[in-house]
Structure 1
Amino acid sequence: MTDDEARWRRSATEGDGSPYAHAKAPSDDGPAYNTLTYEVDGRVARLTFNRPDQGNSITPDTPIELAHAVERADLDPRVHVIVLSGRGKGFCGGYDLAASAENLMDGGVISSGSEGTVLDPVVQMTNHDPQGTWDPMIDFAMMSRFTRGFASLLHANKPTVAKIHGFCVAGGTDIALHCDQIVIAADAKIGYPPTRVWGVPSAGMWAHRLGDQRAKRLLLTGDCLNGREAAEWGLAIEAPEPDQLDERTEILVQRIAAMPLNQLMMVKLALNSALLAQGVQNSQMISTVFDGISRHTREGYAFQQRAAEAGFRDAVRERDSAPYGDFGPSTNKD
């Protein structure tokens, strides 16, 4: 950097006055994740969901790995902004419910080291017996760990940006709505159809992002928005055409990245103080409890049993049939 250049634009690691000047550069040879990839590109940490063949659906590894990757970027003085996106046809299609709906009674999928814990499908199976006694705190202990992992995006010191293409539905919204900024393709689909049966959004972020009436408009029907509508409603900051999504997101990200790191942190913390004062954590606790309850109602058991009989996809197709008629990865009803 020359003497006539703006010194406040220099990297946090540059110059003798930097507390990071003599620190060893963070290694990019981090752990291999099962659900996402991680790379640092200049001042940008790029986290990318990497289960394209499964619609980047959420597994027990997802919140653990996401929180680890966010903390990794948060601690790296080179990084000014964190971008989250997904490979394949969409951002995230929600939880991998084939394991918990179709195969719940067969054990489902388990994370390594989770045997005998609330993340063990056998534990959840035992707690999901319609003829047995349901312990709501087993549900809460399991789901709250997912929510805490996703909330790392909100509580990170550095700004987080979600870049959404294709679809971001059900549990995928629990992730995206924790980001500070959302840029969504105009034709993408975003919403929480499981409020029709077997689900309440455990992140509890909808009213905080949209306000009371608009949040209720979506969650009392399970309806979704396309990207253009999401931007019009204030759920996303921008909704470019699909072929411009990368470019428009990158413009925003680079403008954020040009800011001094300490300025970004102060602004985010100051604005988060207002958001958190609205009661986000209380909303999450209540929503997580109700999410568990929704799977243990008469209707919830009926949906799970139908998924076990006909397959989860067909059960969802029936859930989203008339009067809704919006099954599938698109909001286009033509």
Structure 2
Amino acid sequence: MVNGSADESVLLTRDGAVATVTLNRPDRGNGLTNRMKDALREALQETAEDAAIRAVVLTGAGRSFCVGQDLVEHAEALEHDLSTALATVERHYNPIVTSLTTMAKPVIAAINGACVGAGLGFALACDVRIASDAAKFGTAFTGIGLTCDSGLSATLARAVGTARASELIMLNETFTAAEAHEWGLVGRVVPSDELTHATTELATRLAAGPTLAYAEAKRAITGAWPAPLGDVLKAEAAAQNRLGLTRDHRNAVQAFLAKEKPTFTGE
């Protein structure tokens, strides 16, 4: 139990004016279950409402930042009720991304390892991204017959440009921390054993800065998007719900869990 939370899949710790939210399922790459997503929503809400917290760090335990949705749980949801299996987008992913982007204080993504799917969406929803040189990135969604969620369709294109974003989403190829830095997806890359120190130094600096000005800057940057983020999130959720009903998606999830290559038929 950390800071009163009964669910240790998400840890919330404080050091002065800096709060650190840690995704804590290292044995599963910090893959996101519904319980974990509920805990993350609560942790982010708590940090947003606490005026004593002036900067927030989002990171992962172990060797991964976050590999996205836990597909074992998702496969069970598909079997249980196909029509509601993707309801988690509106229930969890959209509020989490909204919280990260609208929180009136700077949020740093400390990307310690694999950063994939919704994990990449969460990182891109943060204000500043610093990565270990061992981190690996990927979009993942089309690999299981889905489109983007967690705001990725907008935030990735904004970070790297629409041409490269289209390629990364459609080809579903992983890329390195060095490539992420070259393309503008992360601002800093440091040796893995220096990530904690570099993140602490950066968070402390931001916590001592003009948080009111930071909050206004966040609002201005978010408001400058060609489409409002809320509209993007709603459109992503509707698309995921349509794709969640397809045979392609169900078969691809089963193929992934069986460590087989999926076959897509357009159904």
TM-score range, shorter chain: 0.7 to 0.9
Going from structure 1 to structure 2, the CA distance change for 1:279 and 1:190 (only over 3 Å counts) comes to same
Alignment map for 1:1-334 (pairs within 5 Å):
29-101=3-75, 104=76, 121=77, 124-128=78-82, 135=83, 138-139=84-85, 141-151=87-97, 152-205=99-152, 206-275=156-225, 277-306=226-255, 312-315=257-260, 318-319=261-262
> How far apart, in 2, do the equivalents of 1:34 and 1:81 lie?
22
> Post-superposition shift, 1:273?
2.1
> Post-superposition shift, 1:176?
1.5
Query: Which residue identity is paired with 2:227?
Result: Q
Query: Which residue identity is paired with 1:62?
Result: M
Query: Which residue identity is paired with 1:70?
Result: L
8 Å contact from structure 1 (residues 34, 61) kept in 2? no
Gap regions ≥5 residues in structure 2: none
> How far apart, in 2, do the equivalents of 1:241 and 1:313 lie?
34
> How far apart, in 1, do the equivalents of 2:86 and 2:250 lie?
18
> How far apart, in 1, do the equivalents of 2:47 and 2:166 lie?
35
**Greater CA radius of gyration, 1 or 2?**
1
8 Å contact from structure 1 (residues 147, 174) kept in 2? no
8 Å contact from structure 2 (residues 9, 23) kept in 1? yes
> How far apart, in 1, do the equivalents of 2:146 and 2:86 lie?
13
> How far apart, in 1, do the equivalents of 2:33 and 2:51 lie?
30
Local SS of the residue matching 2:21 = strand
Question: If the length of structure 2 is used for normalisation, what is the TM-score?
Answer: 0.87
Going from structure 1 to structure 2, the CA distance change for 1:302 and 1:270 (only over 3 Å counts) comes to closer
Local SS of the residue matching 1:177 = helix
Query: Which residue identity is paired with 1:61?
Result: R
Gap regions ≥5 residues in structure 1: 1-27, 105-120, 129-134, 321-334
Question: If the length of structure 1 is used for normalisation, what is the TM-score?
Answer: 0.71
> How far apart, in 2, do the equivalents of 1:220 and 1:294 lie?
15
8 Å contact from structure 1 (residues 63, 148) kept in 2? no
The Cα RMSD (Å) is: 2.2
Going from structure 1 to structure 2, the CA distance change for 1:64 and 1:287 (only over 3 Å counts) comes to same
> How far apart, in 1, do the equivalents of 2:107 and 2:190 lie?
19
> How far apart, in 2, do the equivalents of 1:268 and 1:305 lie?
40
User: Which structure features the higher share of strand residues?
Assistant: 2
> Post-superposition shift, 1:216?
0.4
> How far apart, in 2, do the equivalents of 1:284 and 1:196 lie?
20
Going from structure 1 to structure 2, the CA distance change for 1:306 and 1:70 (only over 3 Å counts) comes to closer
> Can you list the C-alpha shifts for 1:49-80, whole angstroms capped at 9, x where unaligned?
11111211101023322222122112222211
> How far apart, in 2, do the equivalents of 1:85 and 1:244 lie?
14
Matched-pair identity in % = 28
> Post-superposition shift, 1:319?
4.9
Going from structure 1 to structure 2, the CA distance change for 1:100 and 1:267 (only over 3 Å counts) comes to closer
8 Å contact from structure 1 (residues 59, 95) kept in 2? yes
Local SS of the residue matching 2:230 = helix
> How far apart, in 2, do the equivalents of 1:79 and 1:301 lie?
42
> Post-superposition shift, 1:201?
1.9
